[in-house]
A and B are shown apart, each in its own frame.
Chain A
Amino acid sequence: NAGVMQNPRHLVRRRGQEARLRCSPMKGHSHVYWYRQLPEEGLKFMVYLQKENIIDESGMPKERFSAEFPKEGPSILRIQQVVRGDSAAYFCASSPNLQPFSGNTIYFGEGSWLTVV
Chain B
Amino acid sequence: TQLLEQSPQFLSIQEGENLTVYCNSSSVFSSLQWYRQEPGEGPVLLVTVVTGGEVKKLKRLTFQFGDARKDSSLHITAAQTGDTGLYLCAGAGVSSGSRLTFGEGTQLTVNP
Q: CB-nearest residue of chain B relative to A110?
A: B42
Residues of B within 8 A of A (CB-CB), count: 24
Determine the distance from Cα of A31 to Cα of B98 in the docked complex, in whole angstroms. 10
Q: CB-nearest residue of chain A relative to B35?
A: A108
Collect the chain A residues with CB atoms within 8 Å of residue B104's CB: 41-42
- Contacts A1-B42, A91-B42; is A102 near B97 (CB within 8 Å)? no
The residue from B31, B44, B97 contacting A56, defined by CB atoms under 8 A apart: B97
Shortest CB distance A88–B (Å) = 13
The residue from B45, B90, B98, B102 contacting A105, defined by CB atoms under 8 A apart: B45
The residue from B43, B45, B99 contacting A45, defined by CB atoms under 8 A apart: B99
The residue from B40, B44, B48, B98 contacting A108, defined by CB atoms under 8 A apart: B44
Collect the chain A residues with CB atoms within 8 Å of residue B92's CB: 100-101
Determine the distance from Cα of A58 to Cα of B103 in the docked complex, in whole angstroms. 18
**Most chain B beta-carbon contacts within 10 A, residue among A45, A59, A100, A101:** A101
Q: Mark A78-117, 1 if CB is under 8 A from B, else 0.
A: 0000000000000100000000111111111111010000
- Contacts A33-B98, A58-B99; is A102 near B43 (CB within 8 Å)? no
Collect the chain A residues with CB atoms within 8 Å of residue B99's CB: 45, 48, 56, 58-59
Determine the distance from Cα of A52 to Cα of B90 in the docked complex, in whole angstroms. 27
Q: Are B48 and A103 in contact (CB under 8 A)?
A: yes
Q: CB-nearest residue of chain B relative to A9?
A: B40
